Each structure stands twice: as C-alpha cells, then as structure tokens.
Structure 1
Amino acid sequence: MTSAVRFTHPGPPEVLRLVPVARPEPAAHEVRIRVHAAGINNADLLERRGHYPVPPGAPEGPGLECAGVIDAVGADVDGWSIGDEVCALLAGGGYAEEVLAPATQVMRKPRSLTMVEAAGLPEVACTVYSNLGMIAGLTAGQTVLVHGGAGGIGSFAVQWAKAIGARVIATAGSAAKTAAARAFGADVAINYRDEDFAAATLVATDGRGVDAILDIVGAPYLERNIESLALDGHLVIIGGTTGPTTLDLWELMSRRASVSATLLRARPAAQKAAIVAGVIRDVLPLVDSGAIRGAVDAVFPLAEAGRAHALLESGTTVGKVVLDATAERL
C-alpha cells in the first residue's frame, strides 16, 4: 500500500483527505515515480469543486505535476532508469507518494532546482511554451501581455518571455504583486484594480499594442484583450470565465489578429509528448542557466492538501504552492 490525496464528493478544501491506496504498477509505456513533491494548479481547485471534467482514463485524484525519483520502469520504456531524478506532466493523481507517468511526459529534473521547485515546473512550462511558443509564436523583439503576472503560470511566463528576448507587460491585482511581476522580469506591471489594462498597454506600446496575450481571465477580458493586440497579434485564452460572450469580428479582422482557447490536460498523448519534447529542448536549458528560476510561495505536507488549496484560493500567493510528499514517509 501507499498513500494519496482523494476526495469522495466535490466541496471546500476540507474534502481532501490523505488515504491508503494500492501501489500503482506501470504499464509498458509508463514509469513509476516515488514522489518528493507535487505542484498545485488552479485546475486542481476546479476539479475539487466539481467544475473541471476529468478526461476519460485519467488517474484518480488531483495533481497534474510532480517531481521525484523513478522506482519502476515499464517494459517498453527506453531512456529512463530506476534512480533517475525527474519531474513529470501528469493527467491526474499527482498528490501521492507514488504516481505513474507516460515516459514521454517525463523530464530530467533541472540541476538548478530543488525537488520542491521542480514539482511546480511541468504544468506551467508546458502551458506557457505550448501557448506562447508553439501557438502564438512569440519571439525575441516582440511584446507580450501576461495576465496574472505574479501567479504560478504568470510568473513562469514572464521569466520565459524575458529569457527569449521579448518585452513583457504584466497585470496583477495589488502593489505587492505588480512588484513581484517586475522582480520576475516584467518591463511594465499594471495593477488592474487601479488602471484599465488595455489603455495602459496601449500607452506602454506607444499605441501599437502587443504581439501576444496569455489570458487566464476569459470572457470578461475578451473585448479589452482584442483592443490591446497589435496587427497580426494573437490572443491565447487558457482559463477563467468561459460563459457566452460577444466577439467583435471587425475588431479582430482589422488587426489581422487571431484567438485560441486551449486546455492542456485533455490533449491527446501525442500532443503532450510533442509539447514535453519542446520544453526539454527549448525551455529546460534556460532553467539550468538560471534565466528561469523556481517560484514557490508555500510548501505543505500531503496530509495538509486542504490547507494548501485554501491558501491558493485566497489569491494572496506569488508563484506556486507545492505539496511535500516526503513528510509522509518520515
């Protein structure tokens, strides 16, 4: 037996419980990871509340990323061995002492990061790279607007964009968070509670607008996001309010702009493998060089997953909240 965090019905953070579960055995294409730490993401909060449909076949329980040591390897797996220190993108079940991961979604732990820092890397790195790099095509010399620039995804997006030579404008909801966004590398940080971010973005770009936007807010920001785009700009929506909204097609057409809306968790295995391969090739070297650093706000034992969720839901965190699985084995 081993242990994992589970919940029997949707509800507040208190529904999360650390319980005994059967030890998972890897399929031919999988490795088993002895988890040292697991990152918490907004998708986990939505799943716990019953607002995030779990993809068919996903492992039981919350948790979309982890870091640890491989302790079993499937029969068809090449390139990974027992004892390798890794981090992994998961479809679920990461809040656990042991977890299975497809070998194609596993990355070597960056030397520059601790296990706790590495646990918060896979989901944000894959999200940012797939959306800003692969879809929006952000390159050096361009300008990007990152909403939530002090959060888990936003803090990584700011650092990655600066590392590749882009100019970064970030939004955040307090003076402390705009300061944090600047510390991560944002050239301009806008407190959206005090300023209209679209007007401020146009001022910061001399009226040109930005080449790409990474949006976690959704429908309420759609109109102002379009206003903030430069010619040939690209808006990528990765979360937030997803209800019906109005899109002014002329505003989009007149900018020759485009809009994408994506989810990472439900992507087919082949797409996830391609994204992870891109992160290994293009992003991890930036992490190891120190251009991108781990950003962890707080660490909790697995047994206190509920407290960790409550903290993330408070909206006060900067960077990631992470669960430490080693505390349960002491």
Structure 2
Amino acid sequence: MKALQGVEGELEWAQRPAPECGEGEVRIRVAAAGLNRADLLQRAGHYPPPAGVTDILGLECAGVVIEAGAGSRWQVGDRVCTLLAGGGMAEEVVVDARHALPVPAGLSLREAAVIPEVYATAWLNLYRLGALQPGEKVLLHAGASGVGSAAIQLCKAFDNPCWVSVGSAERLAYCEALGAQGGVLRGEALEALRDFAPFDLILDPVGAKYAALNLQLLGLDARWVMIGLMGGRKAELDLAGLLAKRIQLIGSTLRSRDADYKAGLLAEMEENVWPMFAEGKLSPRLEQCFPIGDAEAAFAALASNTVSGKLALVIDADLQ
C-alpha cells in the first residue's frame, strides 16, 4: 500500500507494507484522512509517535471496512471513521475495532474523516476531564481551530456559554456563527477577556504565553486544561492564585492514551455526541479537501493559521 510519511521534514507518498489484521481489529480502505496540527509537528520531527505506533502520518480517517477480525462488531462494507495514534494517511489502515465509529447519518466519508480527533479531544477535555456542568462558562483559545470548532458546538449543545480568542475578525465572526458568545483578537485585545470573566474552564492549546492571564481569568474551583504549547513551555506564575481559587491545572494528551481508555471515550461519544450529527446540532466544519498528491499544499494551508475548521486529504476519490 502507499502511505504518507514525514522524512527529514519532507512529505513522501511511498510504498509501505500493509499491516496484518488480527483478532479484534478491522482493516479499512481509506477514503480520506483529517489533517491536524500534530501532523505538522510530526512532519517537522517535533512530535514522534508513541512507542510501537507506525510513523505514517494521520490521527483520524474514514473509509470502508474491507476485513474484520474475529471479535469485531463490524462487517465488510461498513462505513466507519476512526481515531488513531498514527497511520491514517494511507490507502489502508488496521485499527482496534473499538476505535472505529459509524459514519453519522447524512455525512460523507470526507466529512466523517475530520470528526474523530477533534471531537474526541474536545469531549475528553471539556466533559470527561473538565467535568463541565450545564451553565458553566468556558474560554477557548484558538477558537477557530479544528478542536475549537468542535468545542464551540459541544458547548452550545450542552448549555455551556463560551468565549474565544482568535487571530482575526473573520475568525471571530466564524466562531460566533458556530455559537460562541463573543471573544477577542490575540495580540490586540487579549486583556479584554476580563470583561467576560470569571470562567469555569479554559481550554488552552497555547501554554506559557497566556498562562498569567489565564490564572487571572479563572474563577473559584475552575479548571485549566492545557492541551498544547503553541505559545511556549516555560512560564512564571504566582501559584498562590491556584491555591486561593482552588484551580485545577490539568495537562492532557489524547494520542498516548492506552487502547482501553480510548475505547471507553469513544463509546461515550457514540452515545452522547454522535446522534447530534444526524440531528444537525453538530457539524464537521470541513473547510477544504486536498488530493493526496497535493499534501504539501494542505500542510502549508494548515500551517498558515488562517484555516477555520478542518482540512482533509482525499486518499481514494472513488469512495464518497
């Protein structure tokens, strides 16, 4: 099979051995794969896959089951999307059958390909780790990103008013159209977030650059969930603020979670989140598709920080 890998910072669509499909696994003919910031980092050599995981890029994809191992609930021909630790940007992928979910009614395979990673990240950090309750207020940094787009929609669906920080007026309008109450532009009016504080939860992919302000914006018994370090890894904080407000600072990564944890998370999502796609309450927010031959252009588009929502790489154009 052919697969996409990052070799010394360059993308290479090359032949790789097809993995074996064992008990409790399924083989998927990939229609499309979602592109995430983690793929940019891995391609640059900054985010290697966990031990034992393929170095093929791609943390999510969708396609059609072409082989089902014993103990799987899936059958050949089923349309599925799946959460991965790697390997999605390939003609075929073999996955733990528990990590695949049915393509929601009304969605194409390309749309389904961009759901698993960002919605799993948002659900995990807002509702499982962040323990959001109805009515609690949320601040989402990088609100127009793939994870931000999913988080805004989940917040609206579960009655959690949210605000965002974004990079442009156009992206702020995009977030408000999705359901955000409002927000600010980073670099221009970040301090204006005080007008909307205190927040019960901040979902933070930025890290050091926003750390001191986050501490000021959080309320009593609030949760600060850190999922990225785009703004640096070292910050100086007055930890007395954490104590005085009883703030929980939670570091979170999804990719390195074990198979059982991911299976439980996805089962929760299938029950609580998946029906909302068919109901029209949630959307993939797929902004653009690129053929696999234009992978460089897709990676450049995501790296430009001008994309609102998600990008997909089309692996097999015959699968819709």
Determine the structure 2 residue equivalent to 1:289: 279
1:202 aligns with 2:194: yes
Determine the structure 2 residue equivalent to 1:134: 128
- Residues 281-302 of structure 1: per-residue CA shift (max 9 Å, x gap): 1111122211111211211111
Determine the structure 2 residue equivalent to 1:7: 6
Letter in 1 for 2:112: A
Moved more, 258-267 or 108-117: 108-117
- Residues 191-219 of structure 1: per-residue CA shift (max 9 Å, x gap): 123202xx4233124xxx01111111011
Letter in 2 for 1:239: G
Aligned length: 319
Give the Cα separation in 2 of the matches to 1:53 and 1:59. Answer: 10
1:303 aligns with 2:293: yes
Determine the structure 1 residue equivalent to 2:23: 28
Give the Cα separation in 2 of the matches to 1:114 and 1:74. Answer: 25
Give the Cα separation in 2 of the matches to 1:70 and 1:273. Answer: 18
Give the Cα separation in 1 of the matches to 2:30 and 2:134. Answer: 36
Determine the structure 2 residue equivalent to 1:167: 161
TM-score (norm 1): 0.93
- After TM superposition, list the pairs within 5 Å mapping 1:54-203 onto structure 2: 54-77=49-72, 79-196=73-190, 199-203=191-195
- Residues 7-49 of structure 1: per-residue CA shift (max 9 Å, x gap): 332x2xxx11211223332121210111111001111100000
- Residues 50-70 of structure 1: per-residue CA shift (max 9 Å, x gap): 001210111231100001111
CA RMSD of aligned residues (A): 1.6
What secondary structure is seen at the aligned counterpart in 2 of 1:294? Answer: coil
Determine the structure 2 residue equivalent to 1:218: 207
Contact 2:6 2:42 in 1 (8 A): no
Give the Cα separation in 2 of the matches to 1:195 and 1:65. Answer: 34
Contact 1:179 1:189 in 2 (8 A): no
Determine the structure 1 residue equivalent to 2:45: 50
Structure 2: gaps (5+ residues): none
Counterpart pick for 1:16 among 1, 11, 15: 11
Give the Cα separation in 2 of the matches to 1:212 and 1:55. Answer: 28
- Residues 255-304 of structure 1: per-residue CA shift (max 9 Å, x gap): 11111111111111111111111111111112221111121121111122
1:312 aligns with 2:311: no
Determine the structure 1 residue equivalent to 2:233: 243
Give the Cα separation in 2 of the matches to 1:201 and 1:232. Answer: 19
Give the Cα separation in 1 of the matches to 2:87 and 2:126. Answer: 27
Determine the structure 2 residue equivalent to 1:272: 262
Give the Cα separation in 1 of the matches to 2:6 and 2:89. Answer: 11
Shift of 1:328: 8.4
Measured at CA, do residues 64 and 190 of structure 1 come closer, stay the same or move farther in structure 2, by a change above 3 Å?
same
Runs of 4+ in 1 over 4 A off after TM superposition: none
Give the Cα separation in 2 of the matches to 1:187 and 1:141. Answer: 13
- Residues 207-236 of structure 1: per-residue CA shift (max 9 Å, x gap): xx0111111101111111111111111010
Determine the structure 2 residue equivalent to 1:232: 221
- Identity level (%): 40
Give the Cα separation in 2 of the matches to 1:290 and 1:246. Answer: 43
Shift of 1:249: 1.6
What secondary structure is seen at the aligned counterpart in 1 of 2:51? Answer: coil
What secondary structure is seen at the aligned counterpart in 1 of 2:125? Answer: helix
Give the Cα separation in 1 of the matches to 2:62 and 2:176. Answer: 28
Give the Cα separation in 1 of the matches to 2:83 and 2:54. Answer: 12
Structure 1: gaps (5+ residues): none
TM-score (norm 2): 0.96
Give the Cα separation in 1 of the matches to 2:226 and 2:128. Answer: 14
What secondary structure is seen at the aligned counterpart in 1 of 2:209? Answer: helix
What secondary structure is seen at the aligned counterpart in 1 of 2:77? Answer: coil
Letter in 2 for 1:63: G
